[in-house]
Structure 1
Amino acid sequence: MPDASRPAHQPELTALFTTVHRHFHDVIVPMWQGPGWNAELALPYESLDSQHTPLPPQRYRAMACARQLYVFASLIGEVPDAVERAAALFRSLQRHFHDAEHGGWFYSIDPQGAPLDTGKDLYTHAFILFACAHYWSKVREPLVESTLNAALEVITRRFATDDGLYEANLGRDWSTCQSGPLQNPLMHLAEAFLAILSVRDDANVRQALRSLCDGMFKYFVDPQRQVMMEKPLKAVDNWYEPGHQFEWYFLLASSPLLRGGKLHTAVERSFSHTEQQGVDQQSGAVCAMLALEPQALARDATQRIWAQAEYLRALTLRPGSEGTLLRQLQAFEQHFLSPEGWNECLDAGGNISRRDMPSTTPYHLLTCYRGLADYLA
């Protein structure tokens, strides 16, 4: 029976979502099954142009491989050959990027497959953890879970600090780079922890997630505005990003474990402020960066597709936002989706400012569409 406590959705919103979701399956997924795939290395090219020709490769990143692993793992059972592609991506993650000598995974390899940037960064390791959790949920293969556990162990042992947070960057041999913690890798680590908890009960991960959120509240949330800063509060030249505010909001509000906690409460309180300062009320465009003071001036008015997607996903968890959600999805389809794929970045005037399409973006589109599908279910 229908849930009488939930409002009926506008047919227009449901129809529009069907259109953009079909675009993802009919246009975007085939880009990475075909022209975006380097069969020799069994890796996705970093980026395609508007004609779906790979840009001359300068590198291949482990993070990009992991993001595509998440996409194709999630599409198992929906898209032909997704299971084979996910298996190939998982093998390539180990073959090309795993550091057999020191453990962990390299940041990147060169176009010939040799190690390029051999540093160890939390952002990459968080995405490996995230992708393996989703892949394991579909295949339940022991090797996948052992890789997940290895990533978890290396993050806990090598990156963790005493305050519940984690270093952003370390050397190949785990030597310190004095980077300290940064917001974005920590957010994706929280996302990875949530992915693990969605597929298995893990008391250590649950406690690590709670400690991480406590640390974020203490060291990254501005006491006055309640917004999440990109660097720790005492850092010079700090800023905040509306896209990341919305991304944190969705992660926190969607989790029974984190909902109602100090961090969720702060991001909830600052949601309207972030909308007022970071979203153009006429076009719906989400700007890239805001200065905290004075008057939250835009430091970068670039409109990035991932930030628009995160705002859409966040709105699905905001009561009474259906009208805004419809307008935002209309603007998203009009300005950011194209017959060739998508527009990665627009400038402040709404003109295309980046014409290539990176292999990392389908991750953002799929997480957004999953949030919309859950909302409309």
Structure 2
Amino acid sequence: MQDQQTNAQSNAQTPLQAMRLDSAAALRAHYADVVLPIWRGPGFNAALGLAYEAVAPHDHAPLPPRRYRAMACARQLFAFTDAGDLAHAATLFESLRHYFLDRRNGGWFYSVDAHGAPLERQKDLYTHAFVVFACAHYAKRSGLSDAFALLDETSRLIEARFSSGGDLLNAALAEDFGATLETPLQNPLMHLAEAWLAAREATGDAAYDRRLLQLARSVADAFVHAPSGSIAELPMGAPGNRLEPGHQFEWYFLALGSRHEAFEAAGLNEGLGRAFEFAQRHGVDPDTGGVCAAIDESGRVIDGTQRIWAQTEYLRALVTRGDAPSGQIARFGERFLHDKGWVEARSAQGDIVRAEMPSTTPYHLATSYAALTD
């Protein structure tokens, strides 16, 4: 839902009163004291055992639910596992299995309706990647055998059912995996790389090294914009392609931050160094530090919207690169955090264009803050 705000409303939304969110420790405190309690309290539907998709920015009232997505449940499972709240994480893990697991065809439904019945039944690679990611973190922290089994089963299913006939994986399939609904896209593949890195760490299984190498090579072959080293949203040559600065920063962290040999072996690392510089030069506002949504292959901004997740990826990439992020932390805190939570998106001019707070955003905050040093 897009919540258009006037400048006056925008300015009223952002004061942090006595809060000074200009250090990594301050960001983590805001997350622990302000963000997470929303999703244990008003943002959590205790009757269903699921987080609402979004809450209002002022009073945290849940937005009327139309659906609950498996990906959102998985992200919440990660967030509370990462925070060490294994009791709440256990509830989310059971909800993930209860509502979203397709016991007839295998895999995971995309969403359920407001009452918990399957709604969007397609099999979505992005969703499956987050199931693996969340289960890997939960399995490692809890030691639960069911979580280890689910991440292994889902990883095997991804390999077997999402194949496009080559090394690339399709983005979406029909409920029974019998028809391709969407051909390969960059974003699900990136999150699958993130998931398999987490699975490798949790399980120690060398099969994930092979999976990561195959994935990295397929991305290098199909998605890299050679002049800038950037990884495009669609395979190169596809009409309507775009480069997202936030994704360049995210890939930079995953590849160079993990130091996993698969990315170097696939030839991605050198290009991602250039992609970082290209995205920073063309996609980051030098005055505000705001990261825009998309640029074209020449570096021209084609979508100036500044979404919070892209800002968090920029912070993480700066740390990975060895750059001091303190100035950017302060600008991020001033523009995107407030004493009730956060601003999901601003326009290039600074107006709030999305004020409600989705349940998926704590994942971005947690992963970014974990990389920051005080």
Unaligned residue ranges in structure 2 (runs of 5+): 1-19
What amino acid is aligned across from residue 265 of structure 1 in structure 2? E
Match of 1:256 in 2: 259
What amino acid is aligned across from residue 364 of structure 1 in structure 2? H
Q: Is the 8 A contact 2:305 2:346 kept in 1?
A: yes
SS at match of 1:316: helix
Distance 2:244 2:77 in 1: 27
1:18 is matched with which residue: 15, 25, 28?
25
Match of 1:165 in 2: 168
Q: Is the 8 A contact 1:221 1:229 kept in 2?
A: yes
* Aligned pairs, number: 352
Cα offset for 1:83?
A: 1.2
Match of 2:320 in 1: 317
- Counterparts of residues 221-236 of structure 1 (less than 5 Å): 221-236=224-239
2:364 paired with 1:359: no
Q: Is the 8 A contact 1:72 1:85 kept in 2?
A: yes
Cα offset for 1:164?
A: 2.3
Distance 1:197 1:138 in 2: 14
Distance 2:275 2:118 in 1: 42
Distance 1:251 1:355 in 2: 29
What amino acid is aligned across from residue 283 of structure 2 in structure 1? G
**More moved, 265-274 vs 40-49:** 265-274
SS at match of 1:60: strand
2:278 is matched with which residue: 273, 276, 293?
273
Match of 1:304 in 2: 307
What amino acid is aligned across from residue 230 of structure 2 in structure 1? V
- Counterparts of residues 89-104 of structure 1 (less than 5 Å): 89-104=92-107
Q: What's the TM-score once normalised by structure 2's chain length? A: 0.92
SS at match of 2:189: helix
2:44 paired with 1:37: yes
Match of 2:13 in 1: none
Match of 1:196 in 2: 199
Distance 1:333 1:90 in 2: 31
Cα offset for 1:250?
A: 0.1
Distance 1:251 1:14 in 2: 26
What amino acid is aligned across from residue 72 of structure 1 in structure 2? F
What amino acid is aligned across from residue 26 of structure 1 in structure 2? D
Q: Is the 8 A contact 1:222 1:228 kept in 2?
A: yes
Match of 1:3 in 2: none
2:122 is matched with which residue: 110, 119, 125?
119
Match of 1:349 in 2: 349
SS at match of 2:231: coil
Unaligned residue ranges in structure 1 (runs of 5+): 1-12, 77-81
Cα offset for 1:21?
A: 0.9
Q: Is the 8 A contact 1:168 1:182 kept in 2?
A: yes
What amino acid is aligned across from residue 205 of structure 1 in structure 2? Y
Distance 1:270 1:93 in 2: 36
What amino acid is aligned across from residue 55 of structure 1 in structure 2? L
Q: Is the 8 A contact 2:174 2:181 kept in 1?
A: no
2:76 is matched with which residue: 45, 55, 68?
68
Distance 1:244 1:89 in 2: 28
2:56 is matched with which residue: 49, 53, 71?
49
Q: Is the 8 A contact 1:109 1:115 kept in 2?
A: yes
Q: Is the 8 A contact 1:226 1:266 kept in 2?
A: yes
| Per-residue CA distance 1:335-371 (angstroms, 9 max, x = gap) | 0000010000001111111110000000000000011
RMSD over aligned Cα atoms: 1.4
Cα offset for 1:256?
A: 2.4
**More moved, 269-278 vs 97-106:** 269-278
With over 3 angstroms needed to count, the CA separation of the structure-2 counterparts of 1:335 and 1:15, relative to structure 1, is closer
What amino acid is aligned across from residue 351 of structure 1 in structure 2? D
Cα offset for 1:14?
A: 11
1:212 is matched with which residue: 191, 196, 215?
215
Identity %: 44
Q: Is the 8 A contact 1:220 1:228 kept in 2?
A: yes
1:108 is matched with which residue: 111, 121, 124?
111
SS at match of 2:321: coil
Distance 2:311 2:275 in 1: 18
Q: What's the TM-score once normalised by structure 1's chain length? A: 0.91
Distance 1:61 1:178 in 2: 18
Distance 2:26 2:220 in 1: 39
Cα offset for 1:127?
A: 0.1
Cα offset for 1:318?
A: 1.1
Cα offset for 1:147?
A: 1.0
Cα offset for 1:274?
A: 1.2
Distance 1:278 1:138 in 2: 37
Cα offset for 1:290?
A: 0.7
Q: Is the 8 A contact 1:164 1:208 kept in 2?
A: no
Match of 1:10 in 2: none
Cα offset for 1:200?
A: 2.2
Distance 2:21 2:70 in 1: 36
Q: Is the 8 A contact 1:102 1:172 kept in 2?
A: yes
With over 3 angstroms needed to count, the CA separation of the structure-2 counterparts of 1:14 and 1:296, relative to structure 1, is closer
Distance 2:214 2:291 in 1: 30
| Per-residue CA distance 1:275-332 (angstroms, 9 max, x = gap) | 010001111110001111xx3211110010000000000000113x11xx11110111
